[in-house]
Amino acid sequence: MAKRIAILGSTGSIGTSALEVLRQLGPDFELVGLAANTQWAALAAQVKEFRPRRAVLSSTELFPRLVQSIGADAVELATGPTALDDLAGSDEVDVVLNAIVGASGLPPALAALRAGKTLALANKECMVMAGELLCRVAEESGARIVPVDSEHSAIFQAMRAGEPAEVRCVWLTASGGPFRTLPAEALATVTPQQALQHPTWAMGPKITVDSATMMNKALEVVEAKWLFDLDASQIRVLIHPQSLVHSLVEFYDGSTIAQLGVPDMRVPIQYAFTHPERRPSAVPAADLAAVGRLDFEEPDPCRFPALALGHRAAEAGGTLGAVLNAANEAAVRAFLDGHLRFTQITQLVAEVMDCHVPRHNLTMETIYEADHWARQEAQAWIARS
């Protein structure tokens, strides 16, 4: 029987890469659901090509255009506040790829887990905000979370070489972003245009800025804590400019298992779909002889102060992850809009975190309260700056 897949965020970078994967995988995998936020024309084109059973457009304002474009009878179309959750929890779905950006990806992630689905999670904000809650729900329902982030997919794969109790630590690798060698005094004058020039990956603007500050790695530290049930002290970061080693797992016997490959998101996406099997892929293997060398270095904590914030949120747990995420989203938006300097992004996040007393035993209500509070504090900070 074909594995039935729904893609939430199908018109974004991860979503379109996932569709490329499905074109290659063949009849053992059936695309049954697509969902987008506002890109109705792109969603309509996807529906016409793949003919899923269901499609969701979150924008109620633009929904009539989708209906007019493809016809209401061609596929089951939906919009409204519960449409994403209904698709994620549908009996017609086995695997939900959550590629929605930001906090709006959390409700459908929970809906998928409550329904016992395999959640292929490409939305790191969900795990940062609500890792404690997501893991609890998954345990109760028997659902499975398979990471799609290249670094966490690498850890997920490397951990198959041993038992969880045998892991000494994990190493998240980072390219170092575009400013790894920029003189520290020049960071304050970095422009949004400069920050959006990533040396390795083609990504959306928010995550590209996160890579430049290494806040993406801070978020990944929190994500790794929950995904792999690790202490914050077991999660370490290495700068690796070639971006071929995606992460490493160090075991107590002295062995270190790494996952290597060309930087192409189709690899972790496909593994999330086919796990525990592997299937042929259109992605070429890394040519290590052509690369010639692999470099690693410790990140400079003065240049990248965001890393310490990630470890702090991982250690504290509770609502501090939601505060970290929300304050950062507000700060990055302000930087891209020209209201903050590059170096003020991490400064803002740190000061908002300083003002927060974490709450534990998370619920959706406490998570959203922390998120809302952090955004208000961030906006007040921006207004004062």
- Give the closest residue to 104 by CA, choosing from 120, 126, 88, 122: 126
pLDDT of residue 266: 97
Which part of the chain has CATH 3.40.50.720?
A: 3-147
Q: Determine the Cα angle at 73 with ends 67 and 74, to 5°.
A: 85
Q: Determine the Cα angle at 84 with ends 264 and 317, to 5°.
A: 70
pTM, rounded to two decimals: 0.93
Strand extents, DSSP E, 25-150? 29-36, 54-57, 76-78, 95-98, 118-121, 144-147
- Give the closest residue to 52 by CA, choosing from 70, 24, 73, 30: 30
Kindly report, residue by residue over 289-317, the tens digit of the pLDDT: 999 999 999 999 989 999 999 999 999 99
Kindly report, residue by residue over 23-61, the tens digit of the pLDDT: 999 899 999 999 999 999 999 999 999 999 999 999 999
pLDDT of residue 74: 77
Q: Is the bond leading into 305 cis (omega within 30 degrees of zero)? A: no
Kindly report, residue by residue over 242-268, the tens digit of the pLDDT: 999 999 999 999 999 999 999 999 999
Q: At what angle do helices 40-50 and 13-25 cross, to 10 degrees?
A: 10
What does the alpha-carbon distance between residue 112 and residue 89 come to, in Å, rounded to a whole number? Answer: 5
Nearest 5°: phi and psi at 293?
Answer: -155, 155
What does the alpha-carbon distance between residue 347 and residue 357 come to, in Å, rounded to a whole number? Answer: 18
Pick the CATH number of 3-147 from 3.30.390.10, 2.60.120.1130, 3.40.50.720, 3.40.50.300: 3.40.50.720
